Each structure stands twice: as structure tokens, then as C-alpha cells.
Structure 1
Amino acid sequence: MLQREDDPPQVVDAFRAGDERALAEIYRRWSPVVHGLALRSLGDVDDAEEVTQQVFTAAWTSRHTFDPERARLAAWLVGIARNKLADAHAARARQRRIRTEVLSRTQVDDTVEPPDLASQLVLLDELSYLPAVPAQVIRMAFYDDLTHTQIAERLGMPLGTVKSHIRRSLCRLRERLEELAESP
């Protein structure tokens, strides 16, 4: 590791006082060290970058607790990095446990038949008979799996209008499909 001289006291004082330029200088000097620790510990560039960002965000928000009489800035930053790395490893372990639990509880039912392709094609064809906006709303609801609120936001419509389009379109589709089922 490169030997670095101590940070100039004026940079440390400015950092503790909330000067963003001092933060930029400290980041320039010490982010390679923090990132290197994170990369070695986590083995993933994206995760290491995230931890590096968390370290400097935490350092900035708790800068008033840094005491240059007790520790050098580099040691303080490494201490924060160790805490953030421990959090990252704990989060990974939680995700693995959750994934394992979900997979163990999820049972695939091989007796379920695949969707009927002919029915899907008929439904898609019937969607083409709907007006453009209601058809778009139905596609967003059922094929894109969006909530009514998400559809309203994306289309810039009132929520009630989206719900009305869905209700009327489903009624219309049901009627058309019933007619088709009854015809020879």
C-alpha cells in the first residue's frame, strides 16, 4: 500500500466544518483505499462501489464525530468501511436464507397444464376489436402486470377512468368470447 502523508489539518478542519470541497479532496485521496478493501472483501465491483459510496456518505453525515486527536482520518474511514462491509455480508447472508426458504417452500406442480395457445390467440384477436386506449389499458394490466395506479400514472389518466376501461373491456371481451363459444 502506498505510504500517504497525514491529511493537512486545514482539510480535516474544513471537512469537519461541512466544506464539500474538503470532502471531495478526502474522497480523492482515500476512495481508492476504501474501494480496494471493499472489492477484496466482496469480490464484486458493483457491490464495492456501493459500499464505497456508503462509507463516504456515512463519513459526511457523521463528520462531527471524527476526532483527529484520537485517530487519523484514514483509520476512521477504514473503521466505517469495516462496518459497511459487515452490513453488506449480513445482507448477502439474509438474501441467501430468504432465497433458500422461498425455493424450499415453492413446489412446482407438474400436473398443471400449460396455457392453451389457441385460447390465447383468440383473446389477442378479440383485444384488437377494442378501442385503442381500452386495449392498451388491458394489455398493461394483464400482460405487463401493472397495477391500476401504475397504469393511471403511465398514461396520465385518472384512476377511476383506468378502472372503468378495465371493467367495460372485460365485460365486452366476455360477451365476445361467449358469442364465439356458442357459434358453430
Structure 2
Amino acid sequence: MPAQTDILYQNRYRIPSARAVWWDYAAPGSYFITFCTAHRQHLFGCVQRGQMHLSPLGEIACAEWERSFTIRAELACDVYVIMPNHIHAIIRIIEPVETHGRASPPHSRASLPHGRASPPNGNSPATRPPKSVSSFVAGFKSATTTRINAYRHTPGVPVWQPRFHDHIIRHDIAYQRIMAYIRNNPARWERDRFYRER
């Protein structure tokens, strides 16, 4: 894994928020997102000879992921990979969204920003705009948790870690590097920071 990619994850899962306070995460742009299973359990299958093989729970996650982009016209997925205990993806918000009574900030195609909505003021809790990265992730987690727990007869058992990591993709060089990292994730599984034995 490139050293620059490692930097993306340093201490991001243990802090209250790694989000850029200056960015509206419902604004158009490209976003690198990662979320892990609860306790990093291997729920979604296994990697053999550099290829990911989905379990029945992995098939559920895959089906819900694909469905997410048929019911959310404002979102597109450029690349994703379902791993045994996490998902990586690049998603795009492809239309302007009004948030907190103001228009989302403009951006050029070259900047390719990404992010969550920040609180209306410094003291209020963050809200979740209806067409934002956080709204998408929350909906996906809810749908997969419901279906997975129904499948394995485990009502109320957490499937996901409560938080997720997101990274603003600012330019094409970063975009290509992250895309290559996602595509190569199964082949490099044993060197991945999320790797753990079953």
C-alpha cells in the first residue's frame, strides 16, 4: 500500500470527527469513503489468491450497495470493493443541493471536493442533509443491518461500526491513486491495515 494512502487513515477512527469544518458535505464532488464491520468481523466473505469471494452476507451488502444508486439519483459510484470486514468506495454527488437555507459552495471539476455538512454554528450538533454523504451511508447501513440480521436471526446485533471515514478528493492525481488502491485491495489484503485473521 502506498505510504500516501496510509496517511489517509492515521488516527481517523478514534477521534470525534475528522471532517473539514469548512466544507459542505452535501456539495457536489468526489468522496473516498470507508466503513468497517462491528469489531471488524469477517462478515462479507474471504480473499483467496487475490480475489474477493462474497459470503451470503456479502451478497446482501453488494445488492444493497447497487440498489442505493438506483434510488438516489443525486449519487454515483465510480468504484467500490467489498472486503471481508470493510467497504471502500469513491462516490460522487452530482447535483447541487440546498443545505441550511443556502446554496452549496461552487467548485471546479479539477478540485473534486468531498465532505459532510458542518454544524450550522459551532455549538449545535451536526445535522444530516437529505442528499449528503452521511445520509447515504446511514441509509445503506440501516438497510444492510436489517437484511443481515433477518438472514442470520440476530435482531438488534450491530453490523457496522458507528462511524465511517471520508476523504475529500481534491484533484485527479489523488483520484487515480485512490481508485488504484481500491481496485488492488483484494490483491494486497494481507498488507492492508484492516487485515486480521478470522
- Please give the TM-score of this superposition, normalised by the length of structure 1: 0.23
Looking at secondary structure, tell me which structure has more strand per residue. Answer: 2
Higher RCO (CA < 8 A, seq sep 6+): 2
- Please give the TM-score of this superposition, normalised by the length of structure 2: 0.22
